[in-house]
Structure 1
């Protein structure tokens, strides 16, 4: 395979601005493993880790599950995410391609728009949600001294959602602008943010978790307190864990293409799914059992002013890297997709557009109103998106190594039907398994749907025009 050579289109640099939106990342532009590792520590610090820990601890009326079962759900869910992320990361590292360009090999030149549209919506939803989470914390810290309510969801039929104050709105607007600016600057800016704040983030989370356990009477006292939890099934728990990070696993492609080796892929993914996220799951679980809330920063706000300031700063900076990554990757989904449809838009402009739309959504309660449903649908329907990419590279591409020659990057047919069909079937099955039909043994809906989609791709590949097209493309190289 010729992994890093591809002919550039006209004015390519104007649209890539050094971030390789429309071409593979060359070996000379790969980044150090240390810097990428720190990005993944910061990227892994997403509030969803705390939320899922809270879900396992009974937050939101789930009933929760005892500590041993909760740990097993975290191990199995994060283990599945780790394997999926590393598998996709290996493909990205070997080819140097972002997710959109990589999808052309399994979905087709225009067919790649389908998974990219899904990922663009998911990353926009995540950006808006995280911004709303930050706004909530600043609102709790500052209060509502102006007395001004900008948006009251109860007037539109939503109950149990606090009004959005002027202070929350201002916080969302300010941080939305900051996040958009650093995402415009690219991967280098994301690395700088991570290098500064990632270590502090982990330290504070661990310290607070230890404090909660001590307050509960030690490990024994905490385990006694948590052992009575019940009501959440293992399949539901694993689906929730996977749903909390499946978008991040897929997004990893766009960061792993900068890695210098496959070993770096395994190490960077471990920073997120073995180190950072399980810690947050545990802290969220402990917090929910002990104080009734997964968000330890709310507890920090009530200790004293200094601790409150530390909590707000850590919370904001922790989510900075995550939201940067959402916008950065969003442009890498929309840019090549628009390009496949004949529309060329510079990456920076796409980041600014997505950041503006996401800031508006975050300001007007997307997180508060829709996040719960958003993450459940995500966990059930998004995993099958990966299946055609993995099946094509590791099964089909293994038999035909010239299939991933970069000279073929812009020569693919408009649609590769094996990819389109297997993904659609998998996404539908994921939704059905999650909401309509209970799987035996309480198996996780999204992962089962992904396996089925993977098998379908392999089964129908030679029955579609895809196999013949690949033979013709490879023959044309000789």
Structure 2
């Protein structure tokens, strides 16, 4: 029997003899020689979460809580999100695999198609929403009324994002490296103007809530901003040189970066009654800077989205290249935006966000139970891992019930239920018969 090894270690020897088909290794472990330094990984993940639409979630919170209670809500929600994504990121770094490929080991080679369809399909929908948003906000800024003008912007922006995603990790790194500091500088300047608007920090703290929201709903809002996208953190953390690097990069991106965007949106809503800093810049007469913030921010975030459905497509159809699926998904997403469907997708895609986090919960728990010592070299997953699929179905149902009855935090309930049930069943029944022989060889 072969011994258990890190998949990246096993792959690095076999792939060193020749160039890989795709330098981003969409369906195979990232070998050690292709891993990236911590700074590079942190830049990519921070660029992923510095996302202006997240401000709209912050805007909803900003008018519902006093400042210090708001800070507690943001800290709690960001901590939950950060811990979950850091765990997913750790799995990605240890295995060298994307989320959808890791799902092969947790759900089986056929069962993993559920993950590819859910994650890839949802990301294509969000891609279309963002493309449509770019077209609408650009037309609003420049006073364009014609459909042709909006459509031209959508197509041009989509081509730019598609090319960036086709370049893979390297393309997203350079875009994030250039745009993220500029976006943060603009955001900090708007915060400074916001403080002037209310008489400084003391004035901001003294503003009283104008609406009401429960603490549970508020924390759910914070967690929900990026929990679905965070489930795909392994797409990038698989390039980390160690599990600890992946964890800290996720903390920077999803706890710090996402938390800042929510806080910025809350401050904008309190002071200018508008959570989106792009629209605040428009209202201040700074249309040019507003467009810079709009394009710079959504360019890198949507390129990450295109990359995510590219690697999901490669897994779904078992192809070694992501580029055809990046291009195909971008075409579909752009078509959705051009037909105006993006205006009706947001609620539906948000609902899907309830069903995605339990996938991550099963993958995390399955890794901890079965793969901590590494995936055995040459191991072939079984076609369907029915037990883990059943756990996912139960956890997703509990998360959905939580949302329907407004009890608890749906994404958190889905994740915790998936982890707890997976570990419980593994402790009671052990490995499945298909894995038992492999498991004994790794001890």
TM-score norm. by structure 1 comes to 0.85
1:427 aligns with 2:399: no
Structure 2: runs of 5 or more not aligned: none
Distance 1:68 1:183, change over 3 A: same
What does 1:330-369 align with in structure 2 at a 5 Å threshold?
Answer: 330-339=309-318, 344=319, 346-369=321-344
Structure 1: runs of 5 or more not aligned: 59-63, 149-164
Distance 1:366 1:224, change over 3 A: farther
| Contact 1:8/1:23 (<8 A) preserved | no
Distance 1:315 1:90, change over 3 A: same
Distance 1:393 1:477, change over 3 A: closer
Residue 414 (structure 2) aligns with: 449
Aligned counterparts of 1:370 and 1:66: Cα–Cα separation in 2: 32
Aligned-residue offset at 1:373 = 4.5
How many equivalent pairs are there?
Answer: 437
Aligned-residue offset at 1:49 = 2.0
Residue 251 (structure 1) aligns with: 232
TM-score norm. by structure 2 comes to 0.92
1:416 aligns with 2:421: no
Aligned counterparts of 2:34 and 2:27: Cα–Cα separation in 1: 15
Which moved further from structure 2: 272-281 or 235-244?
272-281
Residue 50 (structure 2) aligns with: 45
What does 1:272-311 align with in structure 2 at a 5 Å threshold?
Answer: 272-304=253-285, 307-311=286-290
Aligned-residue offset at 1:90 = 1.0
Distance 1:368 1:57, change over 3 A: farther
Aligned-residue offset at 1:390 = 0.9
Residue 296 (structure 2) aligns with: 317
- Deviation per CA, 1:325-358: give whole Å up to 9, x if none: 111111111211222xxxx473211110001111
Residue 384 (structure 1) aligns with: 358
What does 1:137-216 align with in structure 2 at a 5 Å threshold?
Answer: 137-144=137-144, 147-148=145-146, 165-216=147-198
Residue 156 (structure 1) aligns with: none
Aligned-residue offset at 1:366 = 4.0
Residue 155 (structure 1) aligns with: none
SS in 2 for 1:110: coil
Aligned-residue offset at 1:417 = 1.5
Distance 1:122 1:94, change over 3 A: same
1:371 aligns with 2:346: yes
Which moved further from structure 2: 204-213 or 272-281?
272-281
| Contact 1:69/1:234 (<8 A) preserved | no
Aligned counterparts of 1:271 and 1:438: Cα–Cα separation in 2: 30
Aligned counterparts of 2:316 and 2:13: Cα–Cα separation in 1: 16
Aligned-residue offset at 1:52 = 1.0
- Deviation per CA, 1:224-246: give whole Å up to 9, x if none: 33x23342111111112111101
Aligned counterparts of 1:373 and 1:130: Cα–Cα separation in 2: 15
Distance 1:9 1:171, change over 3 A: farther
SS in 1 for 2:213: coil
| Contact 2:176/2:300 (<8 A) preserved | yes
| Contact 2:44/2:172 (<8 A) preserved | yes
Aligned counterparts of 1:138 and 1:382: Cα–Cα separation in 2: 32
| Contact 1:7/1:407 (<8 A) preserved | no
| Contact 1:418/1:464 (<8 A) preserved | no
Which moved further from structure 2: 80-89 or 120-129?
120-129
Distance 1:182 1:438, change over 3 A: closer
| Contact 2:21/2:320 (<8 A) preserved | no
- Deviation per CA, 1:94-118: give whole Å up to 9, x if none: 1111112211221111111112211
Aligned counterparts of 1:354 and 1:68: Cα–Cα separation in 2: 42
Aligned counterparts of 1:233 and 1:197: Cα–Cα separation in 2: 35
What is the RMSD of the two structures over their aligned residues, measured on CA atoms? 2.5
Aligned-residue offset at 1:463 = 6.7
Aligned-residue offset at 1:253 = 0.5
Aligned-residue offset at 1:378 = 4.1
What does 1:6-45 align with in structure 2 at a 5 Å threshold?
Answer: 6=11, 16-45=21-50
Residue 160 (structure 1) aligns with: none
